[in-house]
Chains A and B, each alone.
Chain A
Amino acid sequence: MWLIFYNQDAASELLNHIITPTDGTSGIQSQGMCPSIYETNHRLICLMDNYNIANDVSVQVDINIKANENDFVEINRFYSKKTDQSHLENLFKENSFLQTTGHITVKTIYRKTEIALVPAYLVGGLKISNPVLPTLNISAVRGSLFRISHYFIFRKWLAAHYGELVLAPRIWYSNQESINGDVDLVGTAGKSLISQLEKENNKKIDGSVAIGIESKHSYYPSVNLKIENLAQEKKCIECEQRFIDVEKHFQMRANASIYVSVTHAIGKSIFGTNLPFWGPYTEFDKDKQSINYIYSLSKLNSFLSYSPLMYSFGFTFSGESITIGIQYSDEKQANQFSINRMKQTYVSTSYNL
């Protein structure tokens, strides 16, 4: 029954369910379908990227993390060189798969323009397998980023009666440090574990562009298309040879989302689907296609999201100057990392200064 044979040596698997530096609270909770939510008097609108629209100048601090503090500390050790073989052995006794992801963003918004600084983001996964010959596979990326975004809304266009045409370009400069490794106890003999890991620093200018048609009517679908990491078209061959890969998330990828917005007697809701692709809509990622339901009542938004690898429930509560979000998920990584599903919690906070 189990015997579905592999005909090749171990291949790379992508670390899923991560928070990229461009993801916001709603985007995380809706698995990318609704990067941010804008509420008008009549309906909810999914903005195509993690944007905010403010009439006056506002300054905001966002923190989005996957709440597994231990994993964060352990993976960060590989950057701070505070790890060795004996530490690995201890880790293996406790947990063989660790993951961490999150970012802090400080942004200033004026009308439809946003300038953001992401002083720190981290995405990483670590797998230790084979207790007889403990083998460490790690892939992690951390960095900082400076970003400018603008939102164009065209109310007069060919299909203005149907909805608004929206265009959202953004450009950023990032300084990223990645570590990758596939080492075992014997392979590290006579050398420190840290020196066996590949490290790479990468400074780059990149960007994304999104276009959408936001329907004016309940039950009429709105469509958003987005291409991210526009300057990273080149395929990363090394990434495909790694056991764990996170860098693919920083390669060119695209999204198509369709949703309907409905106004109820009490509250408003959005129901829609998100279709993710790698490259410029060239490779459909069926494991991440999701359907989502978002219900909003006054200052409370609740989210239900489903994709083959993740079921989640979450909510956000918006106060005067603070927004808090919690998401509970039952998620699945690649079988090579963990055969069992895992319960995870994502935490988001946003302060308006």
Chain B
Amino acid sequence: MIKWCWFLLNFIFLFSCRTISKPVSSREYAVELLNQRKYAEASNIFKQILSQDPDQQNDTKILLASAYIGEAGLDIVAAFSALKPFIFDTNKNTRLAIKNIEGKNVNDPDFIKNYFLNYLEIVTEIVRLTQAFPNIALDNRPKIIEALLLVESVKIDNPYFLRARGLSLMLNFSQTLSYLREVFPTLDHEQMPTFANIICSFEPLIFLGNLEDLLKYSRRSVEDYLFIQESKGKNISKNLDSLNAATEKFNVIIDANRDAVVKTDVVLNNTKKYFCE
């Protein structure tokens, strides 16, 4: 009798065991899809999770941003490898100098021309140093912007904030480079460019059209970088700072010449023609 009771007890226990294994949650399933690089499927599930509780799930925001980045085809690992010597390794930073251009009159075409040449020297160095940074196709920019909005919404008092800020730096910098590279439509990105390649492929109208976005993303890159490195007690990235400062200064010059008789784009075009022809 005792033995039958004992066996019965254990069979009941066996069946109770079967029912208590944890089901896979939607979040776990979406992470698995993300790991399998099925970005579109993963992002759909992450979006549903966030729609339930948009304020709480900061790590889910980073995962959804990752899915968007994956969909946009930006290889963050390759981007990070390319970016690291450019901005993170402060010992190897080479300061790209903004020259003290003669003549302080920002409306003077000669001043604009000289500053433009100095700017392109800096840009040449930037393009050379970031040649390995992957390019984002124009069609994929909206996904990157969606990813940026998500990482920017991660709360500052959250343990995931630093991770979000790091991702934000990568995205803002990739946008900066994307808008910058667009200015040189005929440049062969497979070859290491020279100053002559840069100036001859420069398109003034695209540059002036992109300047606002270029500035926006380079400013944000600098802010992100400073936040991350301050939290780690490191120095400023001289290369990143140079690009931003030079673009800021160019913007001031262009602003000051909006109503000028000699338009900036004409000066830039003439300078380009002078050097290339």
Contacts and interface: CB of A to CB of B under 8 A. Distances in A.
Given A191-B232, A339-B29, A3 B59 contact: no
A187 interface: yes
A278 B166 CA distance: 38
Contacts of A287: 20-22
Nearest to B224: A186
A296 interface: no
A145 to B, nearest CB: 32
Contacts of B56: 7-9
Interface in A253-290: 260, 262, 271, 273, 286-287, 289
B21 A187 contact: no
Given A185-B76, A308-B21, A5 B89 contact: no
A353 interface: no
A201 B70 CA distance: 40
A190 B234 CA distance: 9
Contacts of A55: none
Contact of A5 (B23, B52, B84): B52
Most buried by A among B18, B48, B76, B229: B76
B49 interface: yes
B58 interface: yes
Nearest to A8: B56
B31 interface: yes
Contacts of B32: 339
A237 interface: no
Contacts of A96: 35
A184 B164 CA distance: 11
Contacts of B70: 131-132
Given A9-B158, A129-B31, A273-B13, 17 more contacts: A2-B26, A5-B49, A9-B58, A9-B160, A129-B35, A134-B77, A187-B166, A190-B232, A220-B2, A260-B6, A262-B3, A271-B7, A289-B17, A291-B10, A308-B21, A309-B21, A335-B25
Interface of A: 2-10, 89, 96, 129-135, 184-187, 189-191, 219-221, 260, 262, 271, 273, 286-287, 289, 291, 306-309, 332, 334-336, 339
Interface of B: 2-3, 6-7, 10, 13-14, 17-18, 20-29, 31-32, 34-35, 37, 39, 45, 48-49, 52-53, 56-60, 62-63, 66-67, 69-70, 76-77, 80, 84, 88-90, 158-160, 162-163, 166-167, 169-170, 228-229, 232, 234
